[in-house]
Amino acid sequence: METGLRQLWQEVRLSPLSSVNIATVGVFLVVFCLLRHYSRTRRFLNIPPGPTPLPIVGNFGSLFVPPFIKKLLTPRGEYEKSKANPLSPQVGLMQLSRLYGNLYSIFVGSQLTVVLTGYEIIRDAMTNYAEVFSDRPDIPLISMLTKRKGIVFAPYGPVWRKQRRFCHTTLRNFGLGKLSLEPCIQEGFAMVKAELLRRNQEAAGSDVDLTPFISNAVSNVISSISLGRRFHHQDEEFRTQLNLMAHGLEISVNSPAILINIFPWLYYLPFGVFRQLRRVEKDITAFLKKIIAQHRATLDPENPRDFIDIYLVELLAQQEAAVSEESGFSEEYLFFIIGDLFIAGTDTTTNTILWMVLYMCLYPEVQEKVQQEINAVVGSGRLPSLTDKGTLPYTEATIMEVQRMTVVVPLSIPHMASKTTEFRGYTIPKGTVIIPNLWSVHRDPTVWENPDDFNPSRFLDEQGQLLRKEYFIPFGIGRRVCMGEQLAKMELFLMFTSLMQAFTFRLPDEHQPPPMHGRFGLTLAPCPYKVCVTPR
């Protein structure tokens, strides 16, 4: 039928203008719109329930309107009020589930999006339907920056599975033998400690922003793994790269650059944030590719120094064995994996540690109890070690409670249905974006008593031993679970215990506590705050 309509349109377009032609064009447009409506209605006939979408914008925009757009569209007084009491996307989506159930539909423009709420339905979708729901949507801005390669944003399939299996095994081995990361993490803390002590000597009692010190320490762990080198926090080249990554994330989420997802051609505009974004991409690419080239030139296959070396050795082995290119191993793919490790690994771990310090400031009795446990088990004569984990249950419970309260990637990374499937009585069409609301799992009153209260003891049994709960999933669940989960757990434990052993933190007396809703972006970061640091 649509072929016939196209032929009719060609005939009308080439004919002299007349009232008959105008009427025919009118009929053509009506029939075309009816066909489109019929096709859309049929495709979405049995999707999960949800609010009725508006034309063009759908019904999802109000939850994810970037600050720069909200500021333009909202009167100043109302905008300031909305900044003080914002409705975070993960909270708004959780509220919608009370109206439409734990499985419901919303539209981002014309894009069907299905939201999963609560542990049971997320576990069901991500494990029992993993082959269908493990894909990634093709988001224009992300695709332009990542070329659909790497681990985090790459589409699900044979190449991704091989690359992830290799990366997961390699990262896991960094906890062993000569590749042990514990000294590396402790060295990073030593730099943080030295800087905080220096500042305390220069101006005792003054407040300090911990962000640059924590970010540098965490980034250096990733750098040691992937690049085989550490950088001093004042190293100009390293600081430039960290600032570039932070700036790239910021303008990708909270600037007009996000409009590239609607109008991809905006990416090539020669001015404003669009030009800045291309510049950030160019500079980071040059930095990482230079380091990969240096590794290739000095590679000793018998003595790999870091992740890049191990990957290059595998690449050589695949080439010698004449393995088909379908394996995906290449220097280009390596480049995007390193980018994933840096950006995802630095941002999530840094923000989690910053949340931990903030919660210790707000709950000094918890901070004191953690310090007492560390004093009793570790003392002050040595740094905490991973071997202490089993004997610091309250400290571990505190780390887990902060992760439960904050969930730094509250909506996970969006998934996509790779084919049309039936799920819990509904039809999920191919190409549907799937959002697992991890925040809803950790704030579910049916599985957590008083879920909005900060209470580390919920992770301890009556004997004070640590409880492992299946619905504690801050790193996600299923085949797309965070690749760096074990590394992150090591960093969080060692950095937090070392900070608690060496310092006591409090908020400045004259400052109000920062809003606890956080800043929603690629991760959920705490709102900016400063602390007073007292050496112990």
| Nearest Cα to Cα of residue 407 among 364, 379, 445, 437 | 437
One-letter amino acid at 162 equals K
Amino acid letter for position 95? Q
3-class secondary-structure state, position 182: helix
Structure-token pair, residue 86? 């914002």
Residue reference for tokens 């999963």: 116
Q: Which residues are annotated as a binding site for heme?
A: 482
> Strand locations in 402-489, DSSP E?
415-416, 421-423, 426-428, 433-437
Q: Are 536 and 501 in contact (CB under 8 A)?
A: yes
Closest alpha carbon to 453 in 418, 404, 500: 404
Q: Which two tokens stand for residue 74?
A: 């909202």
Which of 190, 479, 519, 486 has the alpha carbon at shortest distance from 345? 486
- Contact yes or no for 292/334 (Cβ under 8 A): yes
State the DSSP H helix or E strand holding residue 115, giving kind and residue range, or none if neither: strand 111-117
Give the angle subtended at the CA of 269 by the CAs of 155 and 258, to the nearest 5°: 45
Q: Check residue 124 and report its DSSP letter.
A: I
Residue 96: which of 82, 117, 113, 111 has the closest Cα?
117
| Distance, CA of 452 to CA of 444 (rounded, Å) | 9
The tokens for 196 are 């905080």
> How far apart are the C-alpha atoms of 536 and 251, rounded to whole Å?
40
Distance separating alpha carbons of residues 439 and 409, to the nearest angstrom: 8
Q: How many CB atoms lie within 10 A of CB 148?
A: 14
Beta strands 433-437 and 415-416, pairing class: antiparallel
Structural contact between residues 35 and 43, judged by C-beta atoms closer than 8 angstroms: no
Which residues fall in the annotated binding site? 482
What is the C-alpha separation between 9 and 12, in angstroms, rounded? 5
